A and B are shown apart, each in its own frame.
Chain A
Amino acid sequence: MTDLVTPSPAADTAPSAPARSAPGGWPWLKWFARRIGLAVLTLWLCSVLVFFATAALGDPVRAILGKDYGSSPERVAALQAELHLDRPVIARYVEWLGGLLTGNLGNSVANGLPVGELVGDRIVNSAVLVIVAAIVMIPVAFGIAMVSANNRGKRADGVIQIVMITLAGLPEFVVGILLVALFSTTVLHVLPAVTIAGGGAPPWSAPGSMILPVLTLVIAVAPYVARIVRSSLLEVLDSDYVELARLKGVPERVVMRKHALLNAIVPGIQVIALQLAWLAGGIVIVEYLFSYPGVGASLVDSVRNSDFPMVQVLAMVIAAVYVGVNLVADVLSILFTPRARTAITS
């Protein structure tokens, strides 16, 4: 541990990370490096799967041209040259991976524009949608779970449980349709039905048009999180140390907040991570329904166009979101679990 403790005047004033966590810093670093390494390995395996699954499935040129394949041999030749189909598949993979790492994502075969330019804005738009939905969803889900756990066995809990199960059972597009009918087309006319911002400005330039997509995602995801958090809360509330806290006369509100919630948060983090990762792909339908300018529609469109460079990049983005979100969730879970923390440092 001594190598990390480099006494310097700056270390005392600026609470830099190595200095403060000096006693446990090295194992943490090692642990973190291993997790990152695993994540990178997972992504690499994904890249192999994505590339070979898209490259090995039939003749991409035929898939791209469809009805015109037979009638325009010049376009066939041009596309073959553009996709380097004459070269061995391994060489193509290495080149593609190199491009991916250096940010050279290739050109879309549907319209010849660089993939990065085509998906950049859309990835940002989708990310904003998911993040806003998560920011709204997490407190809502925890709040519901706490109310529900507080009233365990009472009528309020029963009603909440039934509503949550019903909402969890509704596919997100049904929720979306109902919300649109309710707020924009049929009953009330107060909110925009689709997210079409004028002049190509980002969706958040017209925040009103984002309300319904966000609400749909929140309703689609919150019930799962709320149910898991509720059941782990109940488990903690039944535990000996909570009982002891109560016997010591700690008020129920404080018991709930300090003793129960903090301990029930770990399963919550895990399920939130799972749901957010699911959103990365599951957002497709919601984006369709609201004509939201995100990755969902381009992914479907690219698959339909057999636009391999686009599909490959979008698949890798979604894989990266999965891996990234799970990595963050694991780190947070460890930080919130004292036993796991000690296991790493000792």
Chain B
Amino acid sequence: MRQTAPSRRDVLKFGLVAGAALAGLPGCSAVPGRPDPGTPPVRGGIYSHGATGGGLKDTLEPYFPVTNPDISRCMQLYEPLLRWDPNYEIEPSVAESVTPNTDNTQWTVRLRDGVEFHHGKTVTAEDVMFSLATVTDPDNTGSGGTELATVLELNNSKIVDPRTIVLQLNSPYAVLDQLLAEYTVGIIPTDFDISHPVGTGPFAYEHFVPGQLSRFVRHENYWDGPAWVDELFIYDFADDAAKVNALLAGQVQSIDNLPNYLAGTIEQQGASPLVSETGAWVPFTMRVDVAPFSDVRVRQALRLIVDRQQMIDQALNGFGILGNDLYAPFDPAYASDLPQRVQDIDQARSLLRQAGQENLEVELVTSSAVGAGAVESANLFVEQARQAGVTVRLNKADANVFYGDRYLSWNFAQDFWNTRNYIPQVATSSVKGATYNETHFEDPTFTALIEQAKREPDPARRRQLMHDAQEIEYNTGGYIIWGFKRQLDAYSNLVQGLEPHRYLPCSNFRFSRASFVRQP
């Protein structure tokens, strides 16, 4: 633990833990235990979810979700053609199938029969074309459309029949299905109106107050089985304590992003934690084009300095999976055969000596704006680096400074990333011209391998190309990826049906599968 004066947050933490501890005392009122796994789901009831964050920026826009509650609302209203299953593998959704031709330049979309929008219209090929045109609109490209826009040629794509579309690409792209499975590429009808948003999702829009709450009703004709509950409320919570209290008092049935330190204690109070693996990471970013990091030996030395397990234990309260300086852990091509890098101070010192940097002094820029675990891991890095004779000055920047003018040009800093597969991640972070290339990594051999992989129709060969690319990053990259976060959410013991999911928090926000254990 760091030695600082107790902040408001610490006191709140203490209050919550102390409150939880009190619950263990005999004589306190009874709390519901975990339901029997065989309990049949009950139809009906009003389900409330407490979503973390949100504010006046909240929106119901299908293609521009900003805050965490926005994402949870998107998942109720809209659905993409394909979707991620709990293991982060692609499964059909609004489309029955999306299949490439032999060289990955044409993809055929076959729509599921009879998928209905909330206003009763059936999804047709026109709606899909309209949705794709909207999300890739060059004047207003949605967050899920940026990569899509670079490959998709909508003008040359054609509607074959009301349920079939052939999408034409300007170059071979082997993982188009992954782009089409993102929640930011939901299908909307051609008569879409944001003042009364309509999609194909399990819940239909009813009421929305930015920064406060949103209300939905069950979509009776939902293709994947109508929801068990009648109504769904999603409340915004700015404060962790309020959110947890609402869960424990039974005012909401589930919350996302439970603070890690509470995982054990809520179990005595009628709620259960929901732990999921994710591919989300908070790397240290070293600019490979600026001294001293331009010397690969310095980069490798800093990677060897990190005690990854300690970072997971202390910065993530143990809720993490070891990282190996590679991203996209759920990609089938993830190079899990490369040896796990562990702390090796002697080797780090020797590399620094070879590089002529025995008394290396660097500045590390961090900010609480990077998210949970960032400042904590930066503090740990300062201490771990000291063992190898490296002096790290910590610059704790304000959010507006960190993501201000100098963002993407800090020499040594941090950033946050969510779960992505390998090719889409590379496109946004690791090639020349990528939107968020913090490390300025642009190895020509690497880029050539990626280009080849995008074209390669044979999955085995493609996997090999991606493996070779990862080896280059493993040996020369600018990221220090010490771990992947585990997602921690919580739900009341009075509901069931939520399960760990690798894609989005709280069982992928699939409240259509949640039900009360007894008649509410």
Question: A194–B211 Cα gap in the complex (Å)?
Answer: 15
Give the residues in chain A near B197, CB-CB below 8 Å.
Answer: none
Which residues does chain B contribute within 8 Å of A173, judged by CB atoms? 8, 11-12
**Which residue in A110, A171, A186, A288 is a CB contact (below 8 Å) of B23?**
A186
Name the interface size band of chain A.
Answer: 35 or more
Cβ of B404 under 8 Å from chain A: yes
* Chain A residues within an 8 Å CB radius of B245: 180, 184-185, 193-194
If over half of A's interface residues share one DSSP class (helix, strand or loop), that class is named, otherwise mixed; here it is: helix
The interface residues of chain A lying within 8 Å CB-to-CB of B212 are 200, 293
- Smallest beta-carbon distance B109→chain A, Å: 29
Quick one: closest A residue to B238, CB to CB?
A297
A9 to chain B, nearest CB (A): 55
In the complex, whether A198 has a CB less than 8 A from a CB of chain B is yes
Residues 240-263 (chain B) with a chain A CB within 8 angstroms: 241-243, 245-246, 248-252
- Chain B nearest CB from A161 CB (Å) reads 25
Let me know if B5 is at the binding interface, CB within 8 A: no
Whether B58 pairs with A111 at a CB distance below 8 angstroms is yes
Q: Is the CB of A111 within 8 A of B235?
A: no
Residue in chain A with minimal CB distance to B31: A189
User: CB of A102 within 8 A of chain B?
Assistant: no
Complexed CA–CA distance, A187 and B22 (Å): 7
* A154 CB to nearest B CB, Å: 34
| In the assembled complex, A74 has its CB within 8 A of some CB on chain B | yes
Are B246's CB and A291's CB within 8 A? yes
Most chain-A Cβ atoms within 10 A of its Cβ — which of B18, B235, B243, B249? Answer: B249
B209: interface (CB < 8 Å)? yes
Closest to B143 in A: A68
The yes or no answer to A323 lying at the interface (CB within 8 A) is no
Are A198 and B233 within 8 A (Cβ)? yes
Instruction: Judge whether B210 and A111 touch: CB under 8 Å.
Output: yes
Contact assessment for B58 and A189 in the assembled complex, using a CB-CB cutoff below 8 Å? no
Q: Tell me if B215 counts as interface (CB < 8 A to partner A).
A: yes
Q: Which residues of A contact B213 (CB under 8 A)?
A: 196, 200
Which residues of A sit under 8 angstroms from B2, Cβ to Cβ?
none
- Asked if A257 CB lies within 8 Å of chain B CBs, one says no
Q: Which residues of A contact B269 (CB under 8 A)?
A: 185-186
**Chain A, residue nearest B48 (CB):** A196
Q: Given A108-B56, A200-B209, A186–B22 Cβ distance below 8 Å?
A: yes
Q: Could you say which of B22, B212, B242, B251 has the most chain A C-beta atoms within 10 Å of its C-beta?
A: B242
The answer to whether A298 and B211 have CB atoms under 8 Å apart is yes
Q: Is B130 an interface residue (CB 8 A)?
A: no
Residues of the A chain whose Cβ atoms lie less than 8 Å from the Cβ of B251 = 192-194, 196
B16 at the interface (CB under 8 A from A): yes
**Which among B55, B207, B239 is the interface contact of A288 at CB below 8 angstroms?**
B239
In this assembly, does A300 line the interface, its C-beta being within 8 Å of a C-beta of chain B? yes
B248 touches A186 (CB 8 A): yes
Shortest Cβ gap from B414 to chain A (Å): 13
CB pair B56–A181 under 8 Å, yes or no, is no
CB under 8 Å from chain B, chain A span 253-285: 285
Q: How far is the CA of A108 from the CA of B55 in the complex (A)?
A: 12
Q: Complex Cα distance A285/B9, Å?
A: 12
| CB of A62 within 8 Å of the partner chain | yes
Q: How distant is B474 from chain A, measured CB to nearest CB, in Å?
A: 27
Chain A residues in 8 Å Cβ range of B8: 171, 173, 285
Measured CB to CB, the closest approach of chain A to B481, in angstroms, equals 20
Bound CA–CA A58/B400 (angstroms): 10
Interface string of A279-318 (1 = CB under 8 A from B): 0000001001111010001101110111100100000000
Chain B proximity mask over A152-189: 1 for CB below 8 Å, otherwise 0: 00000000000000000001011001101100111111
| One of A174, A198, A289 near B239 (C-beta < 8 A) | A289
Which A residues, 110 to 144, have Cβ-Cβ distances below 8 Å to chain B? 110-111, 113, 118
The answer, yes or no, to whether A88 is at the interface (CB within 8 Å) is no
A70 within 8 A of B: yes
B435 touches A71 (CB 8 A): yes
Which residue on chain A has the smallest CB distance to residue B23?
Answer: A186
Contact status B405-A62, CB under 8 Å: yes
Are B57 and A305 touching (Cβ within 8 A)?
Answer: yes
Q: Does A99 contact B (CB under 8 A)?
A: no
Q: What B residues does A307 contact at CB under 8 A?
A: 56
Closest approach, in angstroms, between the C-beta of B56 and any C-beta of chain A?
Answer: 4
Whether B238 and A200, one on each chain, are in contact in the complex, defined by CB atoms closer than 8 angstroms, is no
In the complex, what residues of B have CB within 8 A of residue A291's CB? 235, 237-239, 242-243, 246
**Beta-carbon contact of A186 and B28 below 8 Å:** yes
User: Quick one: CB contact mask for B302-322 with A, threshold 8 Å, 1 for yes?
Assistant: 000000000000000000000
A14 → chain B closest CB, angstroms: 46
Residues of B within 8 A of A298 (CB): 55-56, 211
In chain A, what residue has the closest Cβ to B246? A194
Check A66 against B56 for contact (C-beta < 8 Å).
Answer: no
Q: Of all chain B residues, which has the CB nearest A71?
A: B435
Specify which chain A residues have a CB less than 8 angstroms from the CB of B399 in the assembled complex.
66, 304
In the complex, what distance in Å separates the CA atom of A70 from the CA atom of B210? 27
Question: What's the Cα separation between A187 and B246 when bound, in Å?
Answer: 15
Give the one of A198, A291, A300 with max B CB within 10 A. A291
Enumerate chain B residues within 8 angstroms of A174, measured Cβ to Cβ. 11, 15
Chain A nearest CB: distance from B299 CB in Å? 24
The answer, yes or no, to whether B408 is at the interface (CB within 8 Å) is yes
Chain B residues lying within 8 Å of A193, measured Cβ to Cβ, are 242, 245-246, 248-249, 251
What sequence of 0s and 1s flags, for each residue 14-43 of chain B, a beta carbon within 8 Å of any chain A beta carbon? 011011101100001100000000000000
- The contact of B211 among A186, A192, A290, A297, by CB within 8 Å, is A297
Whether A178 and B249, one on each chain, are in contact in the complex, defined by CB atoms closer than 8 angstroms, is no
A248 within 8 A of B: no
In the bound complex, what is the Cα–Cα distance between A31 and B22 (angstroms)?
A: 58
Q: Given contacts A196-B213, A196-B246, list 5 more A-B pairs with CB under 8 A.
A: A71-B435, A111-B58, A177-B16, A187-B29, A298-B55
A-B contact pairs, 19 of them (CB 8 A): A67-B436, A70-B407, A111-B57, A177-B12, A180-B19, A186-B19, A192-B251, A193-B242, A193-B251, A196-B48, A288-B239, A288-B242, A291-B239, A291-B242, A291-B246, A297-B238, A304-B55, A304-B399, A310-B56
Chain A interface (Cβ within 8 Å of chain B)?
58, 62-63, 66-67, 69-71, 74, 108, 110-111, 113, 118, 171, 173-174, 177-178, 180-181, 184-189, 191-194, 196, 198-200, 285, 288-291, 293, 297-298, 300-302, 304-307, 310
The 4 closest A-B pairs by CB, nearest first: A193-B249, A177-B15, A181-B19, A301-B55
